[in-house]
A and B are shown apart, each in its own frame.
Chain A
């Protein structure tokens, strides 16, 4: 039985191997992400228009406004994770991140036309996002039974993506209805963001009680007393060999992922797509991601998280191949979008679900932050390298190089990734 092995207390008895409910906390976290993504994607969608049409800034000035470097975001992410781990302050740290992003909309309103003010507001938003991601994912890990982590992350990512799809629609509807009142979009985005923060405060459980079932119905994945206490800094997680292997694979696979925007660019070149429809390509992939996130998570729970992660990158490999192959246009368009969506569904939440069980109590946020950062930095490097190869020898060569690199990374990952979940002793790495 599940209950005996997981030590879940106070949970309703599970219907025999049928669908169990996704933990309420995960649904709450998903709801917060959904609302927050509506808020942030509203702004992202209209910001270029606002800067150029609303303020008359030059489009060329737009790139300059993004003042936060990837390095700064990575640092903030790791710091956020480490701070959250200290004393189990996941809720407070992530809540601060959500609040910072919500307030940045107010900053946009108050900045008026000042480029410096807008840059500061955008920086606050990026930093808020950096701070909150790892503690939030740690909370998902903490409040889900380890054997259902895949489904929990899948559910969360599906809700998150729903918000990201709804945001731009809401923003453009508002612009249309108000004859381009950009302030209205920012004000509504602010209100939506504040509501997200409120949901966070009221629905997401904070510090977990060390003893007794208490009033909490939040499932306890592990008996608290069995978990080794965190000692040392963020990098203490590196003492676990299994975690090191996951980290290595995240970086390796990230370094062979050229960035889907490049794929959209290649797709547009192959299809000679009308530029009007270009912004809809990512939406198509996001739709597939949305539909497949939960099934992929469930699959990961059933067959182990290692395989979906590898299959997902396999889907990306197929997408590269499809872009090089002489296939009919309709197949190319549909195939690449479905493959990119599958790639995200099978890898994004699954990587977190794979990592979570290997992290000791009190180190989840820092550990997840490190994996996310390694992946993000590796992907950035991949994008730069891909651009350089493209410049030096053209898009086809670049794609072939990426294909070979991804195949090689995939072979390495298949050997290196730890197969099973952690044994109880593997957690006690020190």
Chain B
């Protein structure tokens, strides 16, 4: 056994101290764990409550993920609490046209995530199992094209960095691209190869073929325009993340990194595809979300555990739409 030197304690004394410490620390750890565990309900599992469908509310009603229950909720001023949280349990949600997309994560070793494709009555029509943590979900306006981004850990060559996996699912053909990072990419006019390309935050155009997304490589982010039929992508512009194409297809709302530090590095901007100009919206806080166009002039996004909205043209002020909520969606 180990030998003594400067700590002048006999061996039995040291053994007793260690046993005592083991009991105390073990007891403390157990007590903390039990206390932490008792305060939580196991995540709301399963499907939506009967009668809760995308058509049940008034047309254009805002849907969110209700933080308290983990379920999809419809905002309804007449309901108690201002919302009906009867939807499926999701970590990230979006819906458009006849389709809803629900990303859920189930704990375990390794943790698994699922992308659930739901119809308007929120019944499951397809399920894709994927590793990673749900991050972004988007359904095209027609409801035919779906895309989602999972944050993957443990597979990056630089330990502290992240990597993302973005998938695209075409419901018309059932064709699924699990990871779009092999798409031929043109950057700066040249075909680009790199081990560190990561895509996230897809937004589809009305033709269900063109899409916008962010690609990150070499520590920079770029806005890319992708083409499903030709299976190609080209970078358009630097420092654009989580693009969201306006319903008329002329503007892109995105988050722009304005500082390097870890504190709120992003601001919400709108880029005009025709003029090539960008402007910030009237939201001074750090927004980290893929914005949603609730109408042709208004953006909705999550901030600080609530859903907010702001005019897209840079005027006005942010307005809180729902507290205790994330993942805004307006199924039409």
Interface residues of A (CB under 8 A from B): 24-25, 27-28, 48-49, 52-53, 56-67, 91, 115-116, 118-119, 169, 172-181, 183-184, 187-188, 191-192, 194-195, 198-199, 201-209, 214-218, 259, 261-262, 264-265, 268, 274-276, 278-280, 282, 383, 387, 390-391, 393-395
In contact, A278 and B36 (Cβ under 8 angstroms): no
Stretch in B79-87, B131-139, B169-177, B313-321 touching the partner: B131-139
Does more than half of chain B's interface fall in helix, strand or loop, or is it mixed? loop
Residue from the list A59, A179, A195, A274 in contact with B41, Cβ < 8 A: A179
16 more A-B contacts (CB under 8 A) besides A65-B262, A66-B160? A24-B1, A24-B2, A27-B2, A48-B154, A53-B91, A57-B288, A63-B160, A179-B37, A181-B37, A187-B33, A194-B25, A195-B25, A218-B3, A262-B195, A268-B155, A278-B155
Within 8 A of A (CB), among B265-290: 265, 288
Q: A202-B14, A206-B6 are in contact. Are A61 and B265 (CB under 8 A)?
A: yes
Of the candidates A116, A177, A195, A275, which one forms a contact with B37 in the assembled complex, judged by CB atoms under 8 Å apart? Answer: A177
In the bound complex, how far is the Cα of B288 from the Cα of A52, in angstroms? Answer: 12
B152 at the interface (CB under 8 A from A): yes
Give the complex CA separation of A387 and B131 in angstroms.
25
Q: CB distance A53 to B33 under 8 Å?
A: no
- B165 close to chain A: CB less than 8 A: yes
B135 surroundings in chain A (CB, below 8 A): 52, 58-59
- CB neighbours (8 Å) of B41 from chain A are 179
In the complex where A48-B133, A57-B288, A275-B165 touch, is A261 in contact with B195 (Cβ < 8 A)?
no
Q: How far is the CA of A204 from the CA of B2 in the complex (A)?
A: 7
In the complex, what's the smallest C-beta–C-beta distance from B77 to chain A, in angstroms? 26
Q: How far is the CA of A198 from the CA of B200 in the complex (A)?
A: 45
Give the nearest-CB partner of B35 in chain A. A184
Contact of A25 with B3 at beta-carbon distance under 8 Å, contacts A188-B29, A268-B155 already known: yes
Q: Which partner residue on chain B sits nearest A178 by CB separation?
A: B37
B318 CB to closest chain A CB, in angstroms? 18
Cα A144 to Cα B194 in complex, Å, equals 47
Interface residues of B in 10-50 (CB under 8 A from A): 14, 17-18, 21-22, 25-26, 28-29, 32-33, 36-37, 39-43
A25, A53, A116: the one within 8 Å of B133 (CB): A53
Report yes or no: A276 in contact with B161, Cβ–Cβ below 8 A: no
CA distance A10 to B302 in the complex (A): 69
Q: Identify which of B43, B156, B162, B196 contacts A179 (C-beta below 8 A).
A: B43
Q: Does B260 contact A (CB under 8 A)?
A: yes
Are A207 and B6 in contact (CB-based, < 8 A)? yes
Instruction: Pick the contact of B32: A27, A188, A192 (CB < 8 A).
Output: A188
Q: Could you tell me the distance between the alpha carbons of A67 and B261 in the complex, rounded to whole angstroms?
A: 9
Contacts of A57 in B (CB 8 A): 288
When distances are taken between beta carbons in the complex, the residues of chain B under 8 Å from A62 are 160-162
Q: Kindly state whether residue B9 has any CB partner on chain A within 8 Å.
A: yes
Restricting to B100-156, which residues have a CB under 8 Å from any CB of A? 105, 107-112, 130-133, 135, 151-156
CB distance from B256 to the nearest CB of A (A): 13
Q: Whose C-beta in chain A lies nearest to the C-beta of B39?
A: A181
Most chain B CB atoms below 10 A, which of A66, A188, A214, A264: A188
Cα A63 to Cα B154 in complex, Å, equals: 13
For residue B162, which residues in chain A have a CB less than 8 angstroms away from its CB? 48, 59-60, 62-63
- Are A383 and B157 within 8 A (Cβ)? yes
Bound-complex Cα distance A390 to B197 (A): 12
- A91 to B5 alpha-carbon distance, docked (Å): 11
Task: Decide if B288 touches A216 in the complex (CB within 8 Å).
Answer: no
